[in-house]
Amino acid sequence: MSESSPDKNFLNYKQAEKKALEIVAAMKSASPNKVDIELALLVAVFELHKNTVPAATIASVIQGHLKQLVPHYAEKSAGAK
C-alpha cells in the first residue's frame, strides 16, 4: 500500500475519527449540556482552518460534510426505531 493510497487515507481518517470520539466522551464528562459540546466542536473546526480560508468557506465545508453524513446517520436512526 503506497503512502498516498485511498486505503492509507481511510486509515488516517479512522484514526482521527477514533480520537475525535474519545474527545467527545471526555467533553461529555466536562459538560452535560450538548449545546456546549456542539458549539465547542464547531469552534474547533473554525480554529483548524483559521487564517487559511474565510469563515464563510469554513461554513461551506461544514455544510458539505453534513450533506454526506446525514444520509448515513438517517439510515442508522431509521433502523433503531
DSSP calls for 44-77:
HHHHHHTTTS-HHHHHHHHHHHHHHHHHHHHHHH
Is the pLDDT assigned to residue 80 strictly greater than 90? Answer: no
Is the pLDDT assigned to residue 2 strictly greater than 60? Answer: no
pLDDT, greater one: 5 or 80: 5
What's residue 79's pLDDT?
67
**What is the residue extent of each domain of the chain?**
1-30, 32-81
| pLDDT category of residue 1 using cuts at 50, 70 and 90 | very low
What's residue 4's pLDDT?
67
- Residues 25 and 69: their CA atoms lie apart, in Å, by 20
- Three-state secondary-structure class, residue 20: helix
pLDDT, greater one: 1 or 40: 40
pLDDT digits (tens, 9 = 90+) for 49-66: 999 999 999 999 999 999
What's residue 76's pLDDT?
81
